[in-house]
Amino acid sequence: MNSLMMDSQLTITSIMKHADRLNGNSEIVSVTADNPNHRYSYKDAFRRVRQLANAMQTVGFKPGDRIATLAWNDYRHFELYYAISCSGQVCHTINPRLFAEQIAFIINHAEDKWVFTDPLFVPLLEQLQERLPAVQGYVVMTDKQHMPQTSLANAHCYETFIADQPDTFDWPDLDENSPSSMCYTSGTTGDPKGVVYSHRSTVLHSLVASFPDAMNLSANDVIMPVVPMFHVNAWGTAYNGPMVGAKLVFPGPKMADGETLTRLINNEKVSCALGVPTVWLALVDYLNRSGETVESLKNVVVGGAACPLSLMKEMDKQGVRMNVAWGMTEMSPLGCCNTPMDWMQDLSEQEFDVQRVKAGRLVYGVEMKIVDADNNELPWDAVSSGTLLVKGPWVCSAYYKLDKPLLDKDGWFNTGDMAAIDKYGYVTITDRVKDVIKSGGEWISSIEVENAAMAHPDVQEAAVIGVPDPKWTERPLLIVIPREGVEANKDSILQSLQGKIAKWWIPEDCAFVSEIPHTATGKISKKDLRQQFADHSLQ
Ligand code: ADP
């Protein structure tokens, strides 16, 4: 017997058509290099998407071509997401903060045919273009008035590129399994690796990410992705925003600027914002200094790195609930979300805090297990910590052009994270496997030590790495940026960890720095810290 349901394909085109028809009046507000306050409707956006698709066809884009973007979050980037993927090309978003060599590697490895770029990155591309033989042309995402002088070969101005194009386009019927977009992982080890998303994986991820116990999105929301559109499709918000019909607010290059974020939140009545902890540290710091508030903001999805409890408490004071999420580029990115459950109301404040900093519960669609070094499955008892494996329709099965099998024989993907899972299914990420500190044969969770240190009032930011120790092989070293204007005291900070973490996890030493290196996606770069402190001798 066969099912009698229609074989409708799950494509990004279906999201676009739905949003155009049903949510056409929802607004998209952007900060761009040429306009700090650009606003238009979904209807306007998709009209320009059709013009863009026509322009792409005119210059010869073919199905399957990889088209690169080097751009911040704004409406033109949004238009590219839809015009490229819905006309059968692959939207390859590139992180412009990577080293120039990595960007050249990525463009060549993906064999990108054209590059769309913010004016900001034109000098970078000019310097690289000799090394990008496959690139046929460049489009600078600006208008004629702001178009920079450039030595880029076959360079176009975005607004001129689309200006005279018809605003109707016959969208192709795409197979839901065809590639829609790609994103390279930042390559903390080895060369960056390409993750290729499909229309189907994108639609399924968008549906589930919108659930009430995930990002909790509705047509009444105003969503501000402060996670870049060059990083895992801004965690899917450029798709699930239109899917539910929410207003979108794009902060452009002003991602970590507390003042701009506050202005956008208040002017546009942002209700839901998403980003890594560093961004929210900047926001809280600005709010505390200025005395301003963010009344409309209710739901902040924080992920990409562990969120310090102290940051959550600061945001509580602003009436903002921080919902932790966990995922990765290879998972589109969503795996887990931590939203408040009714039963948590009966917990003591301390128990509640323990629960809320966790990475959350698995969303429907992803399966997970934790295993020991011999691949034996570990119990969900909150204490057994092992390597986290996942599978699901939006988890990658291979890296682009890498022949090495990625999955184990049962189809599990190794996330490279260490985790413990409690009986309710709440996941605690204890570390990345490569950042784990092994002291006297036992693991120390750098994340938990960092979290405890962040609670000290003099600590602006904290990181913990393992440094060699003759007796214990490795011991944790706490590295701290003191809060501005305070005379931070090492003993006071180390003392404050007593009772918060296991005694033998407490570092013997604390180093003060004025800066902690971050990766291109805004996370603490443990690799760089380990290099920086390679010769450090513990006091
Ligand atoms: P990269 O950091 O290499 O750019 P991703 O952005 O894909 O790659 O990062 C995914 C990793 O970020 C996860 O494997 C995990 O180590 C870390 N991460 C993401 N969310 C959380 C979280 N809520 N708590 C702790 N770590 C997290």
| Spatial separation of the C-alpha atoms in residues 135 and 527, rounded to whole Å | 32
Q: What is the domain range of residue 520?
A: 437-532
pLDDT band at 453 (very low <50, low <70, confident <90, very high): very high
* Distance, C-alpha 468 to centroid of its chain: 32
User: Do the domain assignments include residue 185?
Assistant: no
Question: Looking at ligand 1, which residue's alpha carbon is closest to its atom 13?
Answer: 328
Question: Looking at ligand 1, which residue's alpha carbon is closest to its atom 23?
Answer: 326
User: Do the domain assignments include residue 497?
Assistant: yes
Give yes or no for residue 303 CB within 6 A of ligand 1: yes
Q: Which of 13, 32, 117, 185 is flagged as catalytic?
A: 185
Give yes or no for residue 366 CB within 6 A of ligand 1: no
Question: Looking at ligand 1, which residue's alpha carbon is closest to its atom 9?
Answer: 328
Atom of ligand 1 nearest to the CA of 336: 23
pLDDT band at 537 (very low <50, low <70, confident <90, very high): confident
For tokens 């006309």, what's the residue?
Answer: 87
First to last CA, the chain: 73
User: Do the domain assignments include residue 34?
Assistant: no
310-366 per-position pLDDT tens digit: 999 999 999 999 999 999 999 999 999 999 899 999 999 999 999 999 999 999 999
User: Do the domain assignments include residue 511?
Assistant: yes
| Spatial separation of the C-alpha atoms in residues 344 and 227, rounded to whole Å | 29
Q: Cα(535) to centroid of ligand 1, in Å?
A: 28
**C-alpha closest to that of 386 among 425, 351, 431:** 431
Q: Which of 159, 314, 330, 461 is flagged as catalytic?
A: 330
Per-residue pLDDT at 502? 86
Please give the tally of structural domains in the chain.
1
Q: Which of 443, 474, 490, 527 is flagged as catalytic?
A: 443
4-18 per-position pLDDT tens digit: 999 999 999 999 999
Per-residue pLDDT at 187? 56
Per-residue pLDDT at 539? 67
Give yes or no for residue 523 CB within 6 A of ligand 1: yes
480-490 per-position pLDDT tens digit: 999 988 888 99
User: Do the domain assignments include residue 442?
Assistant: yes
User: Do the domain assignments include residue 224?
Assistant: no
Q: Which of 62, 313, 434, 438 is flagged as catalytic?
A: 438
**189 pLDDT above the threshold of 80:** no
- Quick check: is 330 catalytic? yes
- Quick check: is 185 catalytic? yes
* Residues sharing a CB contact under 8 Å with residue 230, sequence separation 6 or more, in sequence order: 69, 70, 71, 72, 93, 94, 95, 96, 183
To test ligand 1's pocket by mutation, which of 417, 426, 436 has the most ligand atoms within 8 angstroms of CB?
Answer: 417
CATH classification at residue 462:
3.30.300.30
User: Do the domain assignments include residue 441?
Assistant: yes
**C-alpha closest to that of 230 among 182, 277, 188:** 182
To test ligand 1's pocket by mutation, which of 229, 311, 328 has the most ligand atoms within 8 angstroms of CB?
Answer: 328
- Quick check: is 117 catalytic? no
Q: Cα(405) to centroid of ligand 1, in Å?
A: 22
User: Do the domain assignments include residue 527?
Assistant: yes
Mean pLDDT of the chain, nearest integer: 94
Confirm if 18 and 210 have CB atoms less than 8 A apart.
no
| Spatial separation of the C-alpha atoms in residues 478 and 497, rounded to whole Å | 11
Work out the percent of the chain whose per-residue pLDDT is above 70. Answer: 99
**60 pLDDT above the threshold of 80:** yes
198-234 per-position pLDDT tens digit: 999 999 999 999 999 999 999 999 999 999 999 999 9
Confirm if 420 and 385 have CB atoms less than 8 A apart.
yes
- Quick check: is 329 catalytic? no
* 394 dihedral zone (left: phi>0; alpha: psi -120 to 50; beta): alpha
* Residues sharing a CB contact under 8 Å with residue 241, sequence separation 6 or more, in sequence order: 217, 223, 225, 248
Kindly state the average pLDDT of the residues 103-112: 97
* Residues sharing a CB contact under 8 Å with residue 151, sequence separation 6 or more, in sequence order: 126, 129
